[in-house]
Amino acid sequence: MDDSHLINYAKLIAKVGLNVQKGQDVMLSCGFDQPRFIHMLVKELYECGARKVFVTYNDSELTKLDIQYQNVDDLSKVETFEKDKQEYIADHYACRLFIESEDPDALKGIDFKKYSKAMQARRKVFEPIRDRYDNYVQWCIAGVPSLGWAKKVFPELDGDEAIEALRKAILEVSRAWDGDPIKNWEEHDNNLAKKKDKLNAMHLEKLVYKSKNGTDFTVHMIPDCLWAAGGEYGQTSRIYFQPNIPSEECFTSPMKGKCEGVVYSSKPLSYNSNIIEDFSIRFENGKVSEIHAKKGEEFLKELVKMDEGSAMLGECALIPFHSPINDTKLIFFSTLYDENAACHLALGCGFENLIVGYEKMTLEEVRAKGINISISHVDFMIGSEDLDVVGYDKDGNRYQIFKNGDWAF
């Protein structure tokens, strides 16, 4: 692949995704898989004016060894230097950039219950610190291919060919392959904003989802909760950034504990290197009441037991069936990409920054509006070619939101 494509992608992430400004620190988390691209990206971050770029390399194989050999107490413990790093981010409002490249199968075979218990304990320590910087400053997630990931998506190709194919697919769906990626993204962001504005003007009280696969589901909205899409502003920095590259969604957080019915998955869910396929989730009184899956059912059932909020919804996202990602006909085995292929819901925590006036409220006041609280947030896809989504406002006025899988307006 021509370096110009990768350089343009790095520019897109640095200038549009993170939109790092002069004097800001950047915490960059990545794998060992694409060092040349990481060098390009760090250069672009400095060219944008970053004061310091701190790079942390992650390795799933090392994580797997930790899980295998450490006891649950040691695995759960947050060391002083780990906590200090989070404190630094909070104190300095450092930007956070995550470059995803994990092999979807990297953690296959781990003791999931042990790992889940440890992660719950660690998140309880980190959560109060993260509450001090979440929504306050820019962050972004984007992807580059690893060999394991590429072979998972393109098993019929050899290693180099698979990496090249996945790299091209990532750049295409990120609007970084043809033309000027920055201009492409600005146009796309404007189009998403128009959809979002129309949804907010409807003041929806509930959404009803129906499709021929059996989905028949009603979810209620929070009156003071906005729809969001594309870019957003950091509460402290007031800098506009794009949290996800790519992104095709208009999303909101529904009312905690107010949904009924059943939804059927339209794509596999890759969760901690476990593939969950052909599953359905039934909700009663706002909580998961029944789960069925042809593959990976035990992992889905464990997921909804992580805490009280993990069995309730934290997000409703609307994405047309004919999105650039879905049009590739690929399963990326990565939530960042697969969630943007079609409509999805998310089990777990909601988004406090979608509440009108959240910046003037305490965290407790924001959550009291109806935002779900959980240490987890797991997206699963329900969008299909015949999905209909109808919205109703408090006066009973009906709005056709989706028809046959795509936007109806």
The CATH 3.40.1830.10 portion of the chain extends over 3-173
pLDDT value, residue 120: 86
CB 94 within 8 A of CB 138: no
pLDDT value, residue 274: 86
pLDDT value, residue 273: 82
Q: What is the mean pLDDT of residues 193-203?
A: 97
- Residue position matching structure tokens 């040691």: 74
Confidence of residue 78 (pLDDT cuts 50, 70, 90): very high
Nearest to 170 by CA among 382, 379, 405, 334: 334
Distance of CA 89 to the CA centre of its chain: 21
pLDDT value, residue 393: 97
Q: What distance in Å separates the CA atoms of residue 325 and residue 333, rounded to the nearest whole number?
A: 12
pLDDT value, residue 70: 97
Confidence of residue 51 (pLDDT cuts 50, 70, 90): very high
pLDDT value, residue 291: 97
pLDDT value, residue 2: 80
What backbone phi and psi angles, to 5 degrees, belong to 186? -60, -40
Around Cβ 94, how many Cβ atoms within 10 Å?
23
pLDDT 10s digits, 258-278: 999 999 999 999 887 888 999
Specify which residues 196 forms β-bridges with: none
HEC profile for 230-248?
CCEECCCCCCEECCECCCC
Domain range 3-173, its CATH number among 3.40.1830.10, 3.40.1190.20, 3.40.50.1220, 3.40.50.300: 3.40.1830.10
Distance of CA 370 to the CA centre of its chain: 21
Q: What distance in Å separates the CA atoms of residue 319 and residue 251, rounded to the nearest whole number?
A: 9
pLDDT value, residue 27: 98
Nearest to 182 by CA among 15, 3, 336, 1: 15
> What is the sign of the dihedral through the CA atoms of 121, 123, 126 and 129?
negative
pLDDT value, residue 362: 87
Confidence of residue 409 (pLDDT cuts 50, 70, 90): very high
Query: How much is the mean pLDDT over the chain?
Result: 95
For residue 1, is pLDDT > 80?
no
pLDDT 10s digits, 131-181: 889 888 999 999 999 999 999 999 999 999 999 999 999 999 999 999 999
Q: Which of 252-261, 282-291, 335-344, 357-366 has the lowest mean pLDDT?
A: 357-366
Confidence of residue 206 (pLDDT cuts 50, 70, 90): very high
pLDDT value, residue 370: 96
pLDDT value, residue 339: 92
